Structure 1
Amino acid sequence: MTRRTEHRPQMSVEEFEELERHAPETVRLEFINGKVQVKAVTDGNHDQIIAWLQRLCMQHRPELWLYVDRGVKVEGYRKGRARPGGVLAPYGYPKGHGDWSDAEGVLMAVEVTSHDRIDKPDGYAAAGIPVYLLVDRDDCTVTVFTEPQDGRYRQQVNSAFGAPVKLPDPVGITLDTEPLKELAD
């Protein structure tokens, strides 16, 4: 049973991609659940959180890379387009992909303070991304979503900044989130 009703998208994926190509550099556009969404431009603390996570991933999984702002085809049948804060995938993953990569091969999608708590996680789950990590600076929490099934994540573990956070396989890293306390605003 789905919790959404079928709806008519605002535009086709092709129309969205054309719109996104011509958007000013001051905004990032995404196409989730048939709707165009504007993603805020990142600030220094956001970028520092992503850099912190990149460093940890490189230390523990050097065969992988956390690609920043990589466009990913999400949702069932790749009808959505998202730009997560980062996607963890094997090194070389986006080679030859153009602006939008298939989700196949992505081990984890990362968002820092995403205000979309329903459509984006569902899109990542529908695309089969095994782990979704949400670093919420507003609530000072880290949430790990796992076990994608039928377009939703079946498991969700919430931890306060400062607590150790286990990113299960296929990521297989435990994060010391103490440094996030300084980046919460």
Structure 2
Amino acid sequence: MTVMAERAVQQQMSVEEFERLAKLVERESDTVRLEFINGRIGIKGMTDGDHAEIIRWLGRRCAQVRPDLWLYAGGEIGLRIPAYRHGRAKPDAVLAPDDTFVGQGDWADPAQVLMVVEVTSYDSDAHRRDRKEKPAAYAAAGIPVYLLVDRDHCTVTVHSEPAAEGYGYRQVADFGKKILIPDPVSIEIDTEKLTRYLR
């Protein structure tokens, strides 16, 4: 698709059209997931084994400290992100109370979500998508915490204090250090194990 044709599709596509396209792609493909952030269609490819292990490790840590919460993993949950042209995002993981998504359908309301997690993939789009567009969209949606496991930079970044213009606070720790995920999550994680999940 040419750049001009891609811009034309992005400018004309409604949220409803995107949702129909996303359902079709997910039904027909095991290798990609679609998102609609800032009026752009994003393609998330298949994750690798290390990516899956990071989410599993984080899920176990959350369950140990906060058994009242569940880390929904692997793009199981699609979220309606109202900022940026009625976006639709499929985070790598979503932390929320049990039964938060009962009856929600394909794209859930993020009102009860406490934290979203993204783990960078080794692709050229990671910087724009995971470090710029998603923090802005998640903050505008009022999601209290955005946790970014950045395998390119070997860091964990905790974004908190959401506002319409973005997260007001950001804490960064190198892999191997401890970092506190603030309220309403209130979990300290030791990122030492993340050093095992690098290429």
Give the TM-score range, shorter chain. over 0.9
Question: Which residue of structure 2 lines up, in the alignment, with residue 34 of structure 1?
Answer: 39
Aligned partners of 1:145, 1:21: CA distance in 2, in Å?
30
Q: SS state of the match for residue 112, structure 2?
A: coil
Q: Does residue 1:14 correspond to 2:48, yes or no?
A: no
The alpha carbon displacement at 1:10 in A equals 4.6
User: Counterpart of 1:172 in structure 2: which amino acid?
Assistant: S
Specify the alignment match of 1:129 in structure 2: 143
Distance 1:30 1:39 in 2: 8
Residues 129-175 of structure 1 deviation map (CA, whole Å, 9 limit, x = unaligned): 00000001111100000111123111111110010010000000000
Whether the aligned pair in 1 keeps the contact of 2:37 and 2:84 (CA below 8 Å) is no
Which residue identity does 1:131 align to in structure 2?
A: V
Task: Find the counterpart in structure 2 of residue 73 from structure 1.
Answer: 80
Aligned-partner residue type, residue 18 of structure 1: R
The ranges of structure 1 where at least 4 consecutive aligned residues each deviate by more than 4 angstroms after the TM superposition are none
Given that 2:38 and 2:84 are in contact with CA atoms closer than 8 Å, whether structure 1 keeps it comes out as: no
Pairing 1:142–2:156 present: yes
Q: What is the RMSD computed on CA atoms of the aligned residues?
A: 1.4
Where is the helix percentage greater, Structure 1 or Structure 2?
A: 2
Deviation for aligned residue 1:9? 3.9
Cα distance between partner residues in 1 of 2:42 and 2:119 = 16
**What is the identity, as a one-letter code, of the residue corresponding to 2:50?**
N
- The answer to whether 1:164 aligns with 2:169 is no
Asked if 1:103 is matched to 2:113, the reply is no
Q: Which runs of 5+ in 2 are unaligned?
A: 1-9
The CA distance in 1 between the partners of 2:159 and 2:166, in whole Å, is 9
- Structure 2 Cα separation of the partners of residues 168 and 95 of structure 1: 26
State the aligned residue count: 178
Asked whether the 8 Å contact 1:33–1:75 carries over to 2, the reply is no
Question: Contact between 1:145 and 1:155, CA under 8 Å: does it hold in 2?
Answer: yes
Q: Is 2:49 the partner of 1:47?
A: no
Query: TM-score, structure 2 length as denominator?
Result: 0.86
Match of 2:90 among 74, 83, 95: 83
- CA distance in 2 between partners of 1:35 and 1:10 (Å): 11
Question: Compared with structure 1, are the counterparts of its residues 22 and 160 closer, same or farther at alpha carbon in structure 2 (3 Å cutoff)?
Answer: same
State the identity as a percent: 54
